[in-house]
Structure formats: C-alpha cells, structure tokens
Amino acid sequence: MTYKDVRGNIYIVQNGKELLRHSNGYADISNKIPNTFDTRFACASMSKTFVAVGILQLIERGELRFDDKLGSILDMDLGNIDENVTVAQLLTHTSGVPDYDDETCDDAAGLWADYPNYKIRKNMDLFMISKSKPMIYPKGERFQYNNTGYVLLAMIIEKITDMDFDVYLKKNVFDVCGMDSTGYFETDRLPERCATGYLYGSDNVDYRSNIYSVAAKGTGDGGAYVTVSDIVSFWKGLLEYKLLSKETVEAMFTKQSGDGDDPEEGYYGYGVWIIDNPKGKDYVYMQGIDPGVCTISEYNPNNGMISVILSNYSDNVWEAMRKIRGEYYAL
C-alpha cells in the first residue's frame, strides 16, 4: 500500500505552502459520491485534543487548576470513581477511572447491545455506563489510555462554563481558528458534505455503514467531524498562540505520561501524542480510531510540516503516515 491508497483525504503543508492535496474513495458508496477536499470526516479520538485545549484555556484563565479534584468540581454521585482524581491525571490518562469502552469488539456491538448507541448523545450518557465499574488502578499509578477520562473533562468544561462542551469549543476553539466545517453532529441528521464510515468484511468486498457502531453524537472522548483544512487551521491556531499561551502550548507538547515502550506510539502530553526524536525536536500528533474511522495528524517542528490523513474506511493511516515521514521529512 502507498499512502495514496488510503480511502479518504490527505493534506500536507509546510510553513503555509501546500505540498500534497489528495482525495480517494467514496463519501457515499451507494450513491457514488466521491470524497473531495471539502468532505467532513468523523475523527474519533482526534477530537480529544480539542477538549484538552478547552481545559487548558480554563486553567490559563484561573477558573480551574491542574490539581483540582474531580469531587470538588462535579457536585454529583461519582459512583465508584475516586473523587480525588485530579484534572492533570484525567488529561494525561493516569487517572485509573473506569473506562466505559473495554474495546473487546471491533465494531462495538458488545457495548451497544446493552447501551443502544442511538441513545448516546451527551457526556452524561457515557458517564452513566462508567460509574458503576471499578477503578482500573489507583489514581496516578500509571498511564493507560482512557476514554471516560475525557468524557469527565468535557463534563468539567460544562460545569465551569455552564455551556454544552461542543458549544464552548465552537466559540473558543473552532471559531477562533476559522474551522468553519468542524462540529459535533448527530449521525441521524448530519449536515452536508459528511462522509459515511464503512466497515468491510474479511473479503474486503462486502461492506456496511458504521451507523450502529458509533455514538449518535460525539462526546468528550471523540466524535467531532472535521475537514483536512480545518485540522491544519487548528494546528496553526496552536502554533500561533491564538488558543493558548506559548508556555502552555510548550507544556502541551511536552512528555507528561507514558513510558515510550512502543516507539511509534510514543508518549502523551496534554491531549496529544509525542514521538521521541533523538535527532531533533519530538514529533507531535493526534489520532483517532472508531469502526469505519481512522485518522491521524502530525506536526513536525523540525521542518514546519503538518500532515493530515482522514479515512472513512478504517484504512491504515499509521502505515501511510510512516511512508509520508520517509518521503517528506527529509525535505
């Protein structure tokens, strides 16, 4: 496979100069509607980065602190969740809170059999699935990627701002960056230009849409719809300090957790992944995967390059990203 075999969109820019703009595959197979540069793709957990920025903004404004405890912020029954878990631990996936998604089923059928996906439209819907489960490990003990942690962060945004988290993000992140096509849309009433996510059988011929495999609307752990150009605009908003101060962006891009045992996955900062680069500055990336969704976007501070790959077919965007590094990073 070459990176151009990815069914979806690829966009690469360097210091404002466009290096590659590529579209492949169908946004709607049945009606033969192709993916175009303006197609909106579900981006799964890539949108955790948006939530992290929202939390960091509240910290910069003095409305929240890294060491604030969950129980002191959310005045509600937390079930089995340790009320002493901190904001920093939620941000860095070191909280140990029970994760609603055990990721035992590729198409999430096991999860939605008990909790119909069409009912999942608010952060509280996922929280209610999580609260009765036991803590995974004592808070702060180690790094373990956790979806519920970011659901709780979105709930913190809602509590402090008295706004739905997606409304807050639109006003304070998307609009600031000019991300006019980005939003958290309900799958049963999508706006124009949204790609359908597809799942293929083992023969790679038989397919079905992912409508029964993902939440009806994105929450704090993921699910925003984006375009490749909007993701580039988001990176620019960070790098030009429109969203956060230089000091906070640098902390966001600094290794905060993880052990780097998997060199390709790397470490975790605040809402972003970090790949160790002994020959220069570390690579920073965000990624997401859901049934019928695979996304990755990476910033290379050594050459000012931003790469975005969005697939609505669960294509291997990580393999494609490796090939892009090999071809473009020497430029």
DSSP string of 10-21, one letter each residue? EEEEETTEEEEE
Instruction: Answer yes or no: are the C-beta atoms of 27 and 195 closer than 8 Å.
Output: yes
**Nearest 5°: CA angle at 90, between 273 and 57?**
80
CA neighbours closer than 13 Å in the CB half-sphere of residue 94: 18
Region class of 237: left (phi > 0), else alpha (psi between -120 and 50), else beta: alpha
In terms of C-beta density within 10 A (0-12 exposed, 13-18 middle, 19 or more buried), how is residue 280 classed? Answer: exposed
Q: What is the pLDDT of residue 206?
A: 81
Bridge-partner residues for 268, per DSSP?
Answer: 257, 273
Tokens 């809402």 — which residue? 271
Question: Both tokens of residue 305?
Answer: 């390059």
Q: What is the largest CA-CA distance in the chain?
A: 54
What's the alpha-carbon Rg for the chain, to the nearest Å?
Answer: 19
Q: What is the pLDDT of residue 114?
A: 76
Instruction: Answer yes or no: are the C-beta atoms of 133 and 230 closer than 8 Å.
Output: no
Q: What is the pLDDT of residue 104?
A: 44
Q: What is the pLDDT of residue 264?
A: 87
pLDDT in single tens digits along all 331 residues of the chain: 688 899 999 999 999 999 999 999 999 999 999 999 999 999 999 999 999 999 999 999 999 999 999 999 999 999 999 999 999 999 999 999 999 876 544 555 567 777 888 888 899 989 999 998 999 999 999 999 999 999 999 999 999 999 999 999 999 999 999 999 999 999 999 999 999 999 986 666 788 999 989 999 999 999 999 999 999 999 999 999 999 999 999 999 999 999 888 888 999 999 999 999 988 999 999 999 999 999 999 999 999 999 999 999 999 999 999 999 999 997 6
**Nearest 5°: CA angle at 119, between 115 and 125?**
75
Tokens 């003990």 — which residue? 141
Q: What is the dihedral of CA 175, 178, 181, 182, to 10 degrees?
A: -50
Tokens 């494609």 — which residue? 320
CA–CA separation, 302 and 47 (whole Å): 24
Tokens 């597809």 — which residue? 198
CATH number of the domain within which 43 lies? 3.40.710.10
CA neighbours closer than 13 Å in the CB half-sphere of residue 38: 6
Please state the pTM of the whole predicted model: 0.96
Residue 308's nearest CA partner among 1, 13, 7 is: 13
Number of domains in the chain: 1
C-beta neighbour count of 218 within 10 angstroms: 28
Q: State the residue range of the domain holding 272.
A: 3-328
CA–CA separation, 308 and 149 (whole Å): 25
Q: What is the DSSP letter of 150?
A: H
DSSP string of 162-222, one letter each residue? SS-HHHHHIIIIIHHHT-TT-B---TTS--TTBPPPEEE-TTSS-EEESTTTS-SS-BTTB
